[in-house]
Amino acid sequence: MEVFLKEIFGSRMTTDPFELEQYTKDIAYIPPILVRLLAKPWPRAVVQAEEPREIASLMHWACQNRIPVTVRGGGSSAYFNAVPVQEGIVLDMNRMQGVGAVHATGKAEEAAVWVQAGTTWYDADERLRRQGYTLRSYPTSAPAATVGGWISLGGLGIGSIRYGHLREQILGVRAVTAGGEIVQVDNPGLKSEVEAGLEGSGLCFDDFFGLEGTRAVITEAHLKVRPLPEKETHLVVVFRDVRPTGRLLQGLGQVSSVFNIHFSSPTFVAVLQKKGYALELPQERYCLAMDLAARQTEVEEAVRTIRREVQSLGGEVLAPEAGEAEWSSRFKALRLKQTWPSLQAAELLLPVEHFAAFHEALTKLANRKHTVVVTYAHLVSPQTVLLMTLFPSDELNTLRYLGDLSFISRIYAVGKFYGGKPYVVGLWNTAYLSDMYTSKALKRRWERKQKLDSPNILNPGKAYKAPFFLSRPVFGLGMGFLGALRPLLRAGREKDD
């Protein structure tokens, strides 16, 4: 194996244990006992690709030899999405960077650009701005997340409320199949996976989105972009109660010049302020940071509309400096780790109409369990909120950390009651697959995977089926046991509140 990989990648291949160790984890801490139980995260080798032909040679060889390949970009996810679970080879995409020239698409006032998969969203936007353009949307982890990574995972974030899911902003994808063929697949008008499944084993557009690199290796994406807006304005509005906050959220999805809406809970703000952040925000308030971008007249009219609505709901619009500060901090939500070095989190999609009710139920649950919970969220469509809930734990105390895992399942249970579901799968959320998809949809997903990757070598163990210890019956028993044990493992109330 080493000889073959050296021939293709040269010094860009390593089997050094120190270097391999960096690829055995992502941003979330997982107790080693759980990792050993569910995965084999140490790759046999790591290679760094610079061009599609190298990836094609690797995939052809890996397919013939039944060796798993896990594609990795920025490693900024938290569910083992880009960590091996069956050893094999890690394909590091971070050398494949570059942004082409912006060009017309043939549609009126629509422009696009080819971007290599290893480019971070932040770098892509910086390079586009030099050409007078900017991205339509990007993840909150833009400084670390790569283009290929976000296509493969979620595709919802900053700008989604205006421009939709990332899938709707891509004209085509260049990729390498599991068998080593270099292909380009264009957007045929958002064809569904059901239609794709009828077409046999050839890749279709739907095979790239939210499937965690399990059907192909993305090498380049053809992104729609937008001209730099004529006017941008950033506002922060605050409320004393979550219910008017929720009502305003529901209405904001219909304002055409709104580019982004970010929610911060009072506890989230309070924890940040312990370290000297977010001092421009008042305490014990529910905050909505609003970012508007359009023609000047459109933005000014939207601001007037928002101010009237906020006043009618009993809220307050803060000074402009607060909006500017929140916008400049949009990539820094995890400053929280400076206050809580150990965090656990649940990320879910939730109907915006149930946002306030969910938050009230979550607050009651946290109070009942004597746990400090912070929440931030983005409105990603007129109907949907992408919500992150975090709480402190202690990774140095393995028993307590394991006990705290049960609280994540409680959060997801509350979310499910209000119509929510986990955002991404990876390895750790395979236990919730039946909450995310119908049995028919799960069967169809797996059949499609087998058609495109019959040896199951591309990122195996993710997204489709739960391993035994994460299967629903076993997982349910385990969470029940940990939930009962959790009060005994905690030293009274949280010392961080």
d(CA 119, CA 220): 9
Mean pLDDT over each residue of the chain, to the nearest integer: 92
* Residue at which a domain ends, from 421, 451, 481: 421
In a domain, 429, yes or no: no
* Residue at which a domain ends, from 35, 68, 92: 92
In the predicted structure, residue 189 carries a pLDDT above the cut 70: no
d(CA 39, CA 82): 12
CA 175-55-204 angle, to 5 degrees, is 20
Q: How confident is the model over 84-121, as pLDDT tens digits?
A: 999 999 999 999 999 999 999 878 779 999 999 999 99
The parent domain of residue 203 ranges over: 103-227
Q: Answer yes or no: do 113 and 202 share one domain.
A: yes
| DSSP SS3 for 462 | coil
Strands (E), 52-164: 69-72, 89-92, 103-104, 111-116, 133-135
pLDDT at 201: 53
Q: pLDDT category, 490, cuts 50, 70, 90?
A: low
User: What's the predicted TM-score (pTM) here?
Assistant: 0.93
Q: Answer yes or no: do 168 and 255 share one domain.
A: no
In the predicted structure, residue 55 carries a pLDDT above the cut 80: yes
Kindly state the DSSP code that residue 461 receives in the 8-state scheme: T
Phi and psi, residue 387, nearest 5°: -120, 135
Q: Answer yes or no: do 374 and 239 share one domain.
A: yes
In a domain, 181, yes or no: yes
Kindly state the DSSP code that residue 27 receives in the 8-state scheme: S
Q: Over range 330-339, report the average pLDDT.
A: 86
pLDDT at 188: 82
How many distinct structural domains can be found in the chain?
A: 3
Q: Answer yes or no: do 256 and 217 share one domain.
A: no
Q: DSSP states of 199-247 as a string? A: TTTS--GGGGSSSTTSSEEEEEEEEEEEEPPSEEEEEEEEESSHHHHHH
Q: Over range 58-87, report the average pLDDT.
A: 95
Q: State how beta strands 374-381 and 384-392 pair.
A: antiparallel
Q: Over range 403-422, report the average pLDDT.
A: 95
pLDDT at 339: 83
Q: Answer yes or no: do 188 and 246 share one domain.
A: no
For 27, the token pair is: 């941003």
In the predicted structure, residue 483 carries a pLDDT above the cut 90: no
Q: Answer yes or no: do 398 and 410 share one domain.
A: yes
In the predicted structure, residue 382 carries a pLDDT above the cut 50: yes
pLDDT at 360: 97
pLDDT at 340: 84
In a domain, 434, yes or no: no
* Residue at which a domain ends, from 92, 121, 136: 92
Q: Answer yes or no: do 195 and 240 share one domain.
A: no
In the predicted structure, residue 492 carries a pLDDT above the cut 80: no
Domain of 193: which CATH number? Answer: 3.30.465.10
d(CA 462, CA 69): 12
In a domain, 282, yes or no: yes
